[in-house]
Amino acid sequence: MRRRDTNPNAPLIEEFRRHLTLERRLSPHTVRAYVSDLSQFARVLRLLGEGRVEEATREGVRAYLAYLHASGVGARSLARKLASLRSFFGWLTDRLPDPTRALSRPKERRALPRVLSESQAHALVEAPANGREARRDRAILELLYGSGLRVSELVGANVEDVDLQARLIHVRGKGGKERIVPMGGFCVEAVTAYLTGRPGDGSWHGPLFPGRGPGGRLSPRTVQRIVARWASRAGVGGVHPHVLRHTFATHLLDRGAELRAVQELLGHASLATTQLYTHLTLERIRTAYEQAHPHAGAPRKGPRGERSPSAEAQESTGHHRERKAAMVSTNSVRAEESPAERGAPSIDPPPTNQRSASSPSRNPEGA
């Protein structure tokens, strides 16, 4: 006989789950994360001797975050869990005060995402060659890299969402938001080849990528395995589907696309999210400049071996900095001596003061 759930928080958590699913229309993955975080919060509160989640105080939330931190949970995960609690208590605001209102977000160092070079991306999407399964995988890789789709958007797409004549795909993104995304010439070519050879009755309805996942669709996990397998064969291992989305955005900016346009293509609600890719582009520009431009480094000698003016200026500046550092160091030592030791009145020390052009040619119409 199944054991009855005696968790007093279960009914409220289930009500919150329905709110996230039906009213906010969040993705199943996001709903699971929020509910998991809230369930964990309820368990920790019980361990700490607190009551129900709706009766939690600011001190209880602080104790929960401190408990997670002591358990080795990183700043990024802590920030996400706090966001889950903010969402929950925001939902309860009309009934109860919000104990998370005065809490600051844990500081986190946001790492720049990994992106592929244009030649690496080219090698990856062209790795699938012959066969029905390879045509399907090629279409998947082209939609991830060529149109920047999220995995959830890819597996949720239907055949009727694809307009090969207009070269567009209708995408349902986070929170039920919809957008229209262009498909480039390579992507149209790959999707056309896949649909032409797809088994079945030739119907232009139903899942674009059928599988054994929910709703008869390919599961996100299967897509991850497909990407990882072909990336390994292309010699760019360690790639997951979102790397292709990062690469899509970065390559657009590299080639001069406007930030607002990239935001619309990605379906970002906030421009700040898209701006992360500008940091990647600037780093790539700086690296390319320093590696390629003959004047990127400071010259040390002139054409006949004599010191160049710029080198002498740099050296002069270096000597000046060394003398200044020595003076500061001397003043600091003198400041630590007593007036009697240095035989002078006590005076405070002064303040210290491409796809790339170099990649193999691929020129179907409208690429």
The domain segmentation of the chain, as residue ranges, is 10-91, 118-288
Predicted local distance difference test score (pLDDT) of residue 71: 87
Q: Which residues are catalytic?
A: 150, 174, 242, 245, 268, 277
How many angstroms separate the CA atoms of 140 and 223, rounded?
8
Predicted local distance difference test score (pLDDT) of residue 94: 66
How many angstroms separate the CA atoms of 156 and 220, rounded?
10
**Largest separation between any pair of C-alpha atoms in the chain:** 101
**Which residue type, as a one-letter code, is found at position 115?**
V
Give the other-Cβ count within 10 Å of 116's Cβ. 23
Tokens of 331: 């003043």
How many angstroms separate the CA atoms of 227 and 144, rounded?
10
How many angstroms separate the CA atoms of 65 and 365, rounded?
55
- Element containing residue 169 per DSSP (H, E): strand 168-172
Q: Mark residue 174 as left, alpha or beta (left: phi above 0; alpha: psi -120 to 50; beta: remaining).
A: beta
pTM for this model (two decimals): 0.58
Query: Which residues make Cβ contacts (< 8 Å) with residue 163, sequence separation at least 6?
Result: 169, 170
Give the other-Cβ count within 10 Å of 264's Cβ. 14
Predicted local distance difference test score (pLDDT) of residue 260: 86
Burial classification of residue 251, based on how many CB atoms lie within 10 Å of its CB (0-12 exposed, 13-18 middle, 19 or more buried): buried
Predicted local distance difference test score (pLDDT) of residue 320: 45
Q: How far is CA 347 from the centre of its chain?
A: 54
- Residue identified by tokens 């071996």 is 305
Predicted local distance difference test score (pLDDT) of residue 151: 94
Predicted local distance difference test score (pLDDT) of residue 224: 95
How many angstroms separate the CA atoms of 161 and 206, rounded?
10
How many angstroms separate the CA atoms of 8 and 328, rounded?
65
- What ranges in 214-292 are assigned the alpha helix state H? 220-233, 241-254, 259-266, 271-292
Predicted local distance difference test score (pLDDT) of residue 150: 92
Return the SS3 of 163. strand
Per-residue pLDDT of the chain (367 residues; tens, 9 = 90+): 444 446 778 888 999 999 999 888 888 888 999 999 999 999 888 887 777 888 888 888 888 888 888 888 888 888 889 889 988 988 887 666 778 877 777 666 666 778 899 999 999 999 998 888 999 999 999 999 999 999 999 999 999 999 999 999 999 988 778 999 999 999 999 999 999 877 665 567 889 999 887 788 999 999 999 999 999 999 998 899 999 999 999 898 888 888 888 888 888 888 877 777 777 677 666 676 677 667 666 555 545 445 445 445 444 544 444 444 444 444 443 444 444 444 433 334 444 444 443 334 344 433 3
Predicted local distance difference test score (pLDDT) of residue 202: 58
303-to-251, 295, 306, 308 alpha-carbon distances in Å: 39, 14, 7, 8
Predicted local distance difference test score (pLDDT) of residue 114: 86
The CATH number of domain 10-91 is 1.10.150.130: yes
Query: Which residues make Cβ contacts (< 8 Å) with residue 280, sequence separation at least 6?
Result: 112, 113, 115, 246, 250, 253
Q: What are phi and psi of 347, to 5 degrees?
A: -130, 135
- Residue identified by tokens 């005060």 is 97
Return the SS3 of 217. strand
164-to-184, 194, 209, 309, 353 alpha-carbon distances in Å: 10, 12, 16, 62, 66
Tokens of 71: 């358990």
The fold adopted by the segment(s) 118-288 is hpI Integrase; Chain A (1.10.443)
How many helices and strands (H and E) does the chain possess?
Answer: 14, 3
Predicted local distance difference test score (pLDDT) of residue 350: 42
